[in-house]
Amino acid sequence: MNKVMTRTAQRHATSRPPTRRDTRRPGGSPPRPRGAAPIRTTPTATRPAVPQLRPIDLFADRLLLVLSGQRPVHAMLRHTAGPAYDDLARLAEDGPLRARGPRPVIRDIGYFEPRPGAIEAFARIGTGNRLRAMAFRLELGRDHRWRCTAVELGGPRPRTTDDN
């Protein structure tokens, strides 16, 4: 069975469909020539590229916020593995970067990759005229997420009776 569809209203080829009148813009937009490409406000070639943050930058910021008391320790719970969370909780309890005056900021970050999937990083933290050192290790898990596996602040951690 063949169906024939007919149009009830024929449009002329030279007429344009009615345009939407936007009440928020009193003048509306100027009409575009027929067949013209859509107008872009920002060309793709001149858009500034957003720099991708490295995992060491993100973790250094997160660790600094916890150690300075701006974030709670449990904010790092899913970002740490092994004894690193206990070390971080012990460090944050002392509040080593909590100080009156200027907030601590990261001045410099460096890193070393001992093997693929592992990064050992350091950060210089400045609070006014004082500089502190923070070191941490990141490892890539099976789920392709970086986790902190060790953290130290201002020197090696004190040995406990568990460390032999």
Length of the chain: 164
Give pLDDT, residue 101.
76
pLDDT single digits (tens) 77-94: 999 998 999 999 998 887
Q: What percent of the chain has pLDDT over 70?
A: 63
- Flag residues of the chain having pLDDT under 70: 1-48, 50, 99, 155-164
pTM score, whole prediction: 0.62
Give pLDDT, residue 130.
85
pLDDT single digits (tens) 65-76: 999 888 999 999
Give pLDDT, residue 94.
77
C-alpha to C-alpha distance for 77 and 84, rounded to whole angstroms: 10
Residue 116 has, within 13 A of its CA and on its CB side, a CA count of 2
